[in-house]
Amino acid sequence: MVFFMSTFDPFIKQSYERHSEHLKCYQQGSAKEAHAQRWLLPNTVDSWRHKRMYDLVLPILKNDPNTTWLTVGDGRFGLDAQYIMSNGSACMATDISDTLLIEAKQKNLINDYQIENAEALSFDDNQFDYTFCKESFHHFPRPIIALYEMLRVSKKAAVLIEPSDPLTTPTPLKVLFQNFKKMIKFILKKDNSEHHYEEVGNYIYKLSIKEITKIAIAQNFSTIATKGINDVYLSGVENEMVEDHGPLLKKTKRRIFLYDLLCLLRLQDHLLVSVVIFKSQPSKATIEALIKHRYTIVHLPQNPHMNFN
């Protein structure tokens, strides 16, 4: 596969290569195989966390059934595709690595998969009804290019669930609280940087609703829907079962409750955000379902100087 990149940019090339190789340490016979297999268990604290995020797309899946979906950055056994398929829609799972997608196909967990670079998708315009990218967008070296690609191959909408810019909607109170947290971290000699990286080598690109809105308006799209959610990852949650009501489940819920409270008090924004970028006006039923699930709906202004009839 030929990746779309500048041949003189070694950083982009290295980023693709590192992410392509990353999942090999989780394949069958590898050191982390047992850890990876626990991603497939349905009742762990970790799967409970992810289901909370997956359920953010239920309003679309239930009100626009039997549609076609593409998942992007879905290399962990196609778990995103598995969720979409379990709710009645067809789905193609893609990732820059097929290491674990091969295993998922062999176990009949997914119907179809393909190696794809998110920044240069091989599909036709409008080939799928929806594209879905969960917690992978921030891994891409050029995420905005990937977003344009996801929108290009989508007929109806692209859906992202990603880390949120901590000051997406800045207010004096939020700015004051953020500065207070930075001061505490400085005193405790903890990292108080606004910018972070993951060990595989990517910068954690956090979503700004304002930027996403401008991208949608510039392309004359109709509507965006957004909803914040809080989540916490604690080491070991893959090994604890929800029904055991163990210490990690309790600690996770306590921390989520604390973040929810801070959001309720308008001291900070949610840690994650679900964004649905509709290319055309969604159905009334879909809009009503999204509102029922506490999404904020924004109908975008239309370009008055262009004729699309």
Whether 197 maps to a domain, the answer reads: yes
**Residue 306 is assigned to a structural domain of this protein:** no
Q: What residues make up the domain containing 203?
A: 10-299
Amino acid at 136: S
Neighbour count for residue 69 (Cβ, 10 Å): 25
Which of the 8 DSSP states describes residue 23?
A: G
Give the per-residue pLDDT at 172: 79
pLDDT (tens, 9 = 90+) of the chain, 309 residues, equals 444 445 458 889 999 999 999 999 999 999 999 999 999 999 999 999 999 999 999 999 999 999 999 999 999 999 999 999 999 999 999 999 999 999 999 999 999 999 999 999 999 999 999 999 999 999 999 999 999 999 999 999 999 999 998 766 777 777 787 777 778 777 877 877 778 898 898 999 999 999 999 999 999 999 999 999 999 999 999 999 999 999 999 999 999 999 999 999 988 899 999 999 999 999 999 999 999 999 999 999 999 998 765
In a domain, 3, yes or no: no
CATH code of the domain covering residue 17? 3.40.50.150
The answer to whether position 277 is within a domain reads yes
Tokens of 58: 């239920």
pTM for this structure? 0.91
Question: Whole-angstrom Cα distance, residue 157 to residue 126?
Answer: 10
Q: What is the DSSP letter of 44?
A: B
SS3 (DSSP) at 157: strand
Q: Please indicate, yes or no, if residue 38 is contained in any of the structural domains.
A: yes
CA–CA distance, 123 with 146 (Å, rounded to integer): 13
| pLDDT score for 307 | 74
Into how many domains does the chain fold? 1
Q: How many CA atoms lie within 13 A of 260 on its CB side?
A: 9
